[in-house]
Amino acid sequence: QVQLQESGPGLVKPSETLSLTCTVSGGSTISYYWTWIRQPPGKGLEWIGYIYDSGSTDYNPSLKSRVIMSMDTSKNQFSLKLLSVTDADTAVYYCARLTVTYSGFDYWGQGALVTVSS
């Protein structure tokens, strides 16, 4: 059974960098799009972007200038960095797996609440 688990600081100061890591267990990282999605408190879902096992990435244009994703296949981990955060970046951040046929996000992490506050 594939499992995903987010980890990282729950509190980040404004203008600093949000960093999260997702660890994948129970399955390979090969041939999937490894995705970050966020959900501000009480609001809907926003796709941040994804990284493929080759290292290629695609980001939401609304966040592209501030997002960096990376992957360590030897550790079955992928990571998100969001630069220069503001209050608007406060959200639950989910990692998820997207099939190469784009047939939905079939596995999700439990989510990590990140609060931006001084």
Binding residues (CB under 8 A) for other proteins: these are 44-47, 58, 60-62, 94, 96, 102-106, 108-111
* Between 31 and 62, CB nearer to other proteins: 62
Extract the runs of DSSP E, i.e. beta strands, from the chain. 3-7, 11-12, 18-25, 32-39, 46-52, 57-59, 67-72, 77-82, 91-99, 105-108, 112-116
Helix (H, G, I), strand (E, B) or coil at 53: coil
Q: Report which DSSP code applies to 64.
A: G
| 10/104 with CB nearer other proteins | 104
Minimum distance, C-beta of residue 66 to other proteins, in the bound complex (Å): 14
- Please state the closest distance from residue 111 (CB atom) to other proteins, in A: 5
The residue (of 30 and 102) whose beta carbon lies closer to other proteins is 102
Q: How far is the CB of 108 from other proteins (least distance, A)?
A: 4
